[in-house]
């Protein structure tokens, strides 16, 4: 059975380009696209919509899947093949996984690895505890 999405809405920081499927992190009480090896406890979840901000306002809000059990089909980069149970770092953007980098990894491979198209199923870890 597929887990249900738990959607919450958050304000977004200035100068952000967040695309649906990006991991997002808390920074200064608002969200930003996740960067390389985000700190434990800062990951809010995965963006469910796109948003671009320059000077963010009170209307710059994004929907985020905060369910810690959600598994995402994600593109991976690198020469390695993701191993089930191993956590990998963010790739070229917050919506890809770097299969060559398991240092500070937030995406745990759950299986269904497609080595032809370079996709696999990943669970996002190091999440902030969002009640809901």
Q: Which two structure tokens, joined as six digits, stand for 100?
A: 């060559």
Which letter does DSSP use for residue 30 in this model? E
| Range from 13-17, 18-22, 37-41, 126-130 carrying the lowest mean pLDDT | 126-130
- Please name the helix (run of DSSP H) or strand (run of DSSP E) that holds residue 98, with its range, or none: strand 96-98
Residue 86 has pLDDT above 70, yes or no: yes
Would residue 37 count as lying in a domain? yes
Predicted confidence (pLDDT) per residue in 63-85, tens digit: 999 988 899 999 999 999 999 99
Residue 99 has pLDDT above 60, yes or no: yes
Q: Are residues 106 and 58 in the same domain?
A: no
Residue 2 has pLDDT above 60, yes or no: no
Q: Are residues 114 and 86 in the same domain?
A: yes
Question: Kindly report the CA angle at 96 between 55 and 62, in degrees rounded to 5?
Answer: 35
Determine the Cα–Cα distance for residues 28 and 69; give it in Å rounded to an integer: 25
pLDDT at 37: 83
> Which residues span the domain enclosing 42?
7-65
pTM above 0.85, yes or no: yes
Q: Which two structure tokens, joined as six digits, stand for 28?
A: 């200064």
Determine the Cα–Cα distance for residues 47 and 61; give it in Å rounded to an integer: 11
Higher per-residue confidence, 106 vs 39: 106
Q: Which of 65, 84, 113 is the last residue of a domain?
A: 65
Q: Are residues 11 and 60 in the same domain?
A: yes
Count structural domains, the chain: 2
- Please name the helix (run of DSSP H) or strand (run of DSSP E) that holds residue 47, with its range, or none: strand 43-47
Q: Are residues 93 and 109 in the same domain?
A: yes
Would residue 1 count as lying in a domain? no
């Amino acid at each position: 059975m597929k887990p249900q999405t738990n959607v919450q809405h958050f304000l977004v920081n200035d100068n952000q380009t967040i695309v649906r499927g990006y991991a997002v992190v808390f920074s200064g009480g608002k969200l930003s696209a996740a960067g390389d090896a985000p700190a434990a406890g800062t990951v809010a979840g995965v963006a469910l919509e796109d948003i671009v901000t320059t000077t963010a306002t009170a209307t710059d809000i994004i929907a985020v899947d905060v369910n810690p059990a959600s598994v995402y089909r994600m593109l991976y980069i690198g020469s390695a093949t993701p191993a089930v149970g191993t956590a990998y770092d963010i790739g070229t953007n917050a919506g890809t996984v770097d299969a060559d980098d398991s240092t500070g990894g937030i995406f745990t491979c759950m299986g269904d690895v497609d080595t032809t198209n370079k996709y696999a199923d990943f669970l996002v870890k190091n999440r902030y505890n969002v009640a809901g």
